[in-house]
Structure 1
Amino acid sequence: MRRRQLPFIAALAAPLLPMPTRAQTPEWPSRPIRIIVTFPPGGSSDIVARVLADVLSQRLPQRVLVDNRPGAGGTLGAAYVATQPADGYTLMLSNTAPIVMSPPIYPSVTYDPVGGFTHIAYLGATPLVIVVNPRLVPATDLAGLVEWIKAQRVPPGFGTSGAGSVAHIFGEQFMQRTGAQLTHVPYRGSAPMQADLLGGAIPLSFDTLPQNVENIRAGRLRAIAITAPARQDMAPEVPTTAEAGFPGLLAENWLGLAGPRGLPPAITQRLHTETMAALASPQVRARIDEHGIAMRAMTPPEFTAFVAEEVRTVGGAVRALGLTAN
């Protein structure tokens, strides 16, 4: 009789046993996700993050929000992400500045730009454009701009979206290559810098091409050259630096999606898959193309290797400049 009762007793006790760990863990995502943008609203990173967040919000069961945390060449936002739990709820719209350019410049940076993050997806890249205020600068080509700068009694100011940005480093390389002396004028993002450029507070700037196309087309700014190896469809009339007589004077700002180090592989792969699907959608492609960002697919390991190579080569070149931001 006791033997016959054992299966019945076991059946009654089964609901009291601990459930498997997987059943106890809420399915990801169970709450809203944040994408940290390391620059103020209005720049390329912010625009891409908001386009991506809109589509991911449709593809995932939770909303994806954009949180701007600018400062110190993007390092403040990057440092914040690096210290967050690796649970898939805090991500970063990574780009060249906080990952490659700024760490050699800012002594306070403590995060590892390669190993300190999970590099999820490469999104694309956009070149810079050299633009001038036509009311202040008579030059119409790069050689003429160099000649004009050298003729000034005081080194003119060149505006960028911030110290440690791609544009800042390009400006330093521009001076080394041409021998023209400029004074760096860093801003907290492209929008305030453009306002001063249009208002005449600074005569020229180095900035991402998409941010300036509207003003270039309207004649409010004059494009001198782009820092890409080939002309861009969104501004086909603007020559490259190579065409302007300065081959090798190149720069681009790449964009990616990253998370804190140790992001679970399943979440990493899900985010990568959904991001790639979002980039392939017509609505995202149209918006990205509109902003002159050349997309390229990379797996998470490929993107990680890409970041490591950028830090080694480009970051090494920045380190060799010996720049330090206070």
Structure 2
Amino acid sequence: MRRRNLPVIAALAAFSASRATLAQPAWPSRPIRIIVTFPPGGSSDIVARVLAEVLSQRLPQRVLVENRPGAGGTLGAAYVATQPADGLTLLLSNTAPIVTSPPIYANVPYDPVTGFTHIAYLGATPLVIMVNPRLVPATDLAGLVTWIKAQSGPPGYGSSGAGSVAHIFGEAFSSRTGAALTHVPYRGSAPMQADLLGGAIPLSFDTLPQNVEHIRAGRLRAIAITAPARQEMAPDVPTTAEAGFPGLLAENWLGLAGPPGLPAPIVATLHAEVAAALDSPLMKSRILEHGIAVRPMTQPDFTRFVAEEVRVVGGAVKALGLTAQ
């Protein structure tokens, strides 16, 4: 009886072993790091920390966030591009280090399309045009343009760094309206916001989530949103089109990427886990709370999206002839 059942027992053991193998992650069980290319406090950092929290609940290992700011996000991106393709070091990619910074920084050591494995699209958030109400009397976009033109010299506008979406939008804003501005780059949104609140700069362009509480409290005045539609978290702020400047749009998209050559099983696992995380109640509420518009996208579609952004938006930035100071 025992001898007759040996093949069955062996088959069951092999099946159990195969299930156990499949249940294990396709990469070592050490912590995963998500590299954020800007300091704490900005939209990239906020989203990365929420994502890390949810993924830590779903994956066998912890997911940590590490900030590596500098050079418009290119320092952190360059670091990830040179890491082993084992799924342990990932990039919270966004418009700056992938699309807008490479054309304006000299000798960026990676190709924004082929230099990464583009894993998953997370979402996008528009910019808000803001002023310090103690310095700028304007309450709408036309009034802001009039105020800028009336100054003795180009006022400074703050951004999260040279090559950021806010920087590029500021140049487009000046070109479109004829209102000359001076770019004042910062190492991230948080120090820029501190100077805007303190009156060191009169206006800025930045993503909405980290500024919305100051806007609600009246410490900052929102002039317009650079989106086609009003935002749920700031429904009283008009769009640039409603303010009389259609086509003056900008958004900062967010994604997850890894070093080039990331094995297909790791890419598939991470893409599926990110999709599940984005569908979780916690992530949904936090993403909505921070004004991120999520759009489902397959991994190949995300790769094509990045390539098109680099071609169109990156090409437009290159044509502006901007250089990082």
What TM-score do the two structures reach when normalised by structure 2? 0.92
* 1:50-96 alpha-carbon deviations (Å, 9 max, x no partner): 00001111111110110100000000000000011111000000000
Counterpart of 1:125 in structure 2 is 124
Aligned to 2:10: none
In structure 2, the residue matched to 1:280 is 279
State whether residues 26 and 266 of structure 2, in contact with CA within 8 Å, keep that contact through their aligned partners in structure 1.
Answer: no
Shift of 1:29: 3.6
Per the alignment, residue 77 of structure 2 pairs with 78
Task: Tell me which amino acid in the other structure corresponds to 1:49.
Answer: A
State the Cα distance separating 1:245 from its structure 2 match.
0.7
The answer to whether residue 305 in structure 2 is matched with residue 306 in structure 1 is yes
**2:108 aligned residue:** 109
> For residues 25 and 230 of structure 2, what CA distance do their matches in structure 1 show?
49
Q: Measure how far apart 1:26 and its partner are.
A: 8.6
How many residues matched? Answer: 304
Which residue number in structure 2 is paired with residue 266 of structure 1? 265
Counting only pairs closer than 5 Å after superposition, residues 151-170 of structure 1 correspond to structure 2 as 151-170=150-169
Which sections of structure 1, spanning at least 5 residues, go unmatched?
1-21
Match status 1:149 vs 2:148: yes
Matched, 1:100 2:99: yes
Q: In the aligned structure 1, how far is the partner of 2:288 from the partner of 2:79?
A: 30
Deviations 1:177-231 (A, max 9, x none): 0010111011111111111101100000000011111001000000000000111
Partner of residue 290, structure 2: 291
Q: Which amino acid aligns with 1:284?
A: M
- For residues 37-59 of structure 1, what are the alpha-carbon distances to aligned partners after superposition, in whole Å with 9 as ceiling and x for unaligned? 00000000001000000111111
Write out aligned runs for 1:223-242 (5 A): 223-242=222-241
CA distance in 2, matches of 1:128, 1:108: 28
CA offset at residue 299 of structure 1? Answer: 1.1
Give 3-state SS (helix, strand or coil) of 1:212's partner.
helix
Map Cα deviations across residues 121-156 of structure 1 (whole Å, 9 max, x no partner).
Answer: 000000000000000000000000000000000111
- Alignment partner, residue 11 of structure 2: none
> 1:87 is matched with which residue?
86
Deviations 1:215-265 (A, max 9, x none): 010000000000001111110100000111111100000000000010000
CA distance in 1, matches of 2:34, 2:28: 14
* Contact 1:54/1:64, CA 8 A, preserved across alignment: yes
For each residue in 1:93-118, what CA deviation from the matched residue of structure 2 results, as whole angstroms up to 9, or x when unmatched? 00000000000000120201001100
| 2:126 pairs with 1:136 | no
Counterpart amino acid of 2:276? A
TM-score normalized by the length of structure 1: 0.92
C-alpha distance in structure 2 between counterparts of 1:115 and 1:257, whole Å: 14
Task: Please state how far the C-alpha of 1:28 moved relative to its aligned partner.
Answer: 2.1
Equivalent residues of 1:157, 1:182 under 8 A apart: yes
Residue correspondence of structure 1 range 30-109 to structure 2 within 5 A: 30-109=29-108
What amino acid sits opposite 1:132 in the alignment?
Answer: V
Does structure 1 conserve the Cα–Cα contact (< 8 Å) formed by 2:82 and 2:259?
yes
Residues 29 and 61, structure 1, Cα contact 8 Å, conserved in 2: no
Change (3 A) 1:323 1:98: same
Instruction: Return the alpha-carbon distance in structure 2 between the equivalents of residues 55 and 310 of structure 1.
Output: 28
CA distance in 1, matches of 2:224, 2:26: 50
Percent identity, please.
Answer: 84
Amino acid at match of 1:217: R
Contact 2:131 2:203 in 1 (8 A): yes
Partners of 2:71 and 2:106 in 1: CA distance: 11
Cα pair distance change 1:264/1:153, threshold 3 Å: same
